[in-house]
Structure 1
Amino acid sequence: QSGETFDTKTSQEYAKISGAQTAAIVNVMGSAISMMVDNVIMQGSGPEICVVSTKAALAQTFIMLRVALELGMMKGCLTQDVYQKHQEDLELFPELVQQILNEQSGFVRNIARDTSHVEHWLFLGCDIYYPVAMESALKMKEVTYQHAEGMPAGFLKHGTLSMVEKALHSLFFVPPMGQKVLHDRTLIAMEQVKARGGTVIGIIFQGDERALAACDQVVELPEMNLLCAPLAQMIMAQMFAYYAALDLGRNIDKPRNLAKSVTVG
């Protein structure tokens, strides 16, 4: 979000030398990367004081979603009606965020307090929910100093199932039931962990009885646009890491050994 990170600037320089057209989503106006690229989108999130990126990470993901919708419309992959419906739902997303924070923060806090002592975590999701799992595991590591690994839910059976026991907690990002293929794949992985005595926490959507039955603890979100679902789950995972770190007495705004922008190679 700073536009000053060394690795990102180096990648940008390499792209320019190779003759590529470049663009950037940046939060800081006048930053190095904003001046280097051919096209820039200023995300306008406001200053992010905390070393750990939360609102900037969410805003950049949201902007990429908007870009994808525009490209889908330009290429004829979306009808006008579908495009318009998605745009309307995205415009309402800030209100939805406020709603789920008001309704779910207490549940998230209680689960985080109950499990803050857990030293090893798996964060799991399928398809588009996999990067949500990775981002959420990173937040957990950054602010709690505990081991957390993000991976595709389907990878469990390729070796990681051998680690499953009650002390290893698995947090699953369960898609809405409208995404049937992804939902079923995620539920299979959850049930595999549950059958082997593992502890399962799920961020699910209301009305999902099968997911509810597979979880030891659960955060239930209201129904929403499928494009908004992973973003809402990301926010819940950020809150989970925050409350766990708070219970552990960590310095949440300034975790040890970290800097806001990495300016050396």
Structure 2
Amino acid sequence: AIALSPFTNEITYLVDGDCAIVTRQGAEIIDFSGKPVKRERQISQATAYVVDKGNHRHFMEKEIYEQPEVISHALSHYVDFASKTVKQADTAIDFAKLSGLAISACGTAYLSGLIGKYWFERYARLPVEIDVASEFRYREIPLVPTQAALFISQSGETADTLAALRYCQQEGLKIGAVVNTRESTMARESDAIFPILAGPEIGVASTKAFTCQLAVLASLAVAARKARGTVTAQQETDLVRHLTEMPRIMSKVLNSIQPQIEALSRDLSRFKDVLYLGRGTSFPLALEGALKLKEISYIHAEGYAAGELKHGPIALIDENMPVIVIAPHDRFFEKTVSNMQEVAARGGRIIFITDEKGAAASKLDTMATITLPNVDELIAPMVFSLPIQLLAYHTAVFMGADVDQPRNLAKSVTVE
């Protein structure tokens, strides 16, 4: 729809099995049996967007720097900034009555769901089953109608995620779609739509869609906590206050860390392998950091739970293996620092991404320490996403890679 938006704002979506016969006089739609059918013509929202790079070198860079603004738009849909309360989520899914939640997605969207799992379980006390969609759909998971299912996709057209959605529909679950495109197939086939409102994302490597997905999932987790009666009014106010402060903090981070990241990227581009470590919600961030680096710079990278270091990856560590440690000063910090000491003892080069408290508490020598503001655990994943995105971006640019269109990749994977 975005590609055709300069020419028309009207769009007709076909259903599976439809065929459109287009002539100079118009278009006739027939269904799978060959009978003429009428499909609704609607006004497309895509015409509202102007897609260009602005003053940025690449779409990916532009989308990284758009994050404070688009996250503010997304949050305004889910929280009331004035009263510091969450708005009622789509009533098609009643979080108060759920016995559990199933989440499925692919790629970066799956990693946002993995962070969402921590939030739903910790804040709303709601058990979560999560898997990548290509595995979820074939596992024959025993599901019951008292559960609901969330499917996360930027495009809303990912083939495996759509197949997993239809599997859950057959099992009688209420379906929620966390999508960027409200007119997408997933949105049209869901009971509840939770738009992330990120605007068009052109770069293949997802950045602003990832953090907007996180912002929406965090808001939903707080809403679920409220619906399930596990939060006091003061706790709700505190959580929403942290969410509303997030765009300002992200803007401050983006304006302060670029020179350091750019210089560090030159050093990082010399290595062939990189290891990312994290605990808690920083573990999915480690996976996301590794995914970003490998898909746009083509450097081999792996993300691991820091507690798994001694269960295998520590064998790889030497002076030729940079280890990027994501460690805000949270309840896991001391244990993560212990893992860093194990890396340092084996000559590993540590890139330490932490906050002001963490930087003051750690005395280890590092290849670099990227210091972010102190933030609440709820919003830390969004804030700590910024340095890992910029690190991948600048490393890829320095190496001369095609940042917006990496080799062998597509923006939307519509085949299995």
Shorter-chain TM-score: which interval?
Answer: over 0.9
Supply the AA of the counterpart residue of 1:255. Answer: P
- The match for 2:294 is 141
1:264 is aligned to 2:415? yes
1 CA distance for matches of 2:324 and 2:312?
18
Unpaired runs of 5+ residues, structure 2, are 1-153
For residue 169 of structure 1, the aligned residue among 311, 317, 322 is 322
**Is this contact kept in 1: 2:341–2:364, CA < 8 A?**
no
Shift of 1:225: 1.9
1:54-69 counterparts in 2 under 5 A? Answer: 54-69=207-222
- The match for 1:220 is 371
1:32 is aligned to 2:155? no
**Is this contact kept in 2: 1:164–1:196, CA < 8 A?**
yes
1:35-50 counterparts in 2 under 5 A? Answer: 35-50=188-203
Shift of 1:206: 0.9
TM-score, normalised via structure 2 length: 0.62
Supply the AA of the counterpart residue of 2:347. Answer: G
- Rate the CA distance shift 1:37–1:56 in 2: closer, same or farther, 3 A: same
Shift of 1:213: 2.2
Secondary structure class of the residue paired with 1:92? helix
For residue 152 of structure 1, the aligned residue among 295, 305, 329 is 305
1:201 is aligned to 2:354? no
**Is this contact kept in 1: 2:182–2:193, CA < 8 A?**
no
| Runs of 4 or more consecutive aligned structure 1 residues displaced over 3 Å after TM superposition | none
2 CA distance for matches of 1:3 and 1:126?
30
- The match for 2:233 is 80
2 CA distance for matches of 1:210 and 1:165?
25
- Rate the CA distance shift 1:211–1:132 in 2: closer, same or farther, 3 A: same
Q: Percent identity?
A: 33
1:9-24 counterparts in 2 under 5 A? Answer: 9-24=162-177
- The match for 2:401 is 250
- The match for 2:72 is none
More strand by share: 2
Shift of 1:82: 1.6
Higher relative contact order (CA 8 A, sep 6+): 1
Supply the AA of the counterpart residue of 1:185. Answer: K
How far does the alpha carbon of each residue in 1:17-76 deviate from its partner, in whole angstroms, 9 at most, with x for none?
111111011001210100011111111110001111110011001110111111112223
TM-score, normalised via structure 1 length: 0.96
Shift of 1:236: 1.0
- The match for 1:94 is 247
1:185 is aligned to 2:360? no
Range moving further from structure 2, 205-214 or 139-148:
205-214
2 CA distance for matches of 1:226 and 1:154?
19
RMSD of aligned residue pairs (Cα, Å): 1.1
Q: How many residue pairs align between the two structures?
A: 262
1 CA distance for matches of 2:222 and 2:411?
31
Supply the AA of the counterpart residue of 1:232. Answer: V
User: Quick check: which has more Rg, 1 or 2?
Assistant: 2
More helix by share: 1
Unpaired runs of 5+ residues, structure 1, are none
Shift of 1:118: 1.1
**Is this contact kept in 2: 1:143–1:255, CA < 8 A?**
yes
Shift of 1:212: 5.0
1 CA distance for matches of 2:308 and 2:388?
21
Shift of 1:199: 0.6
How far does the alpha carbon of each residue in 1:86-140 deviate from its partner, in whole angstroms, 9 at most, with x for none?
2112112111111001111111111111211211011110111101111111111
**Is this contact kept in 2: 1:123–1:137, CA < 8 A?**
yes
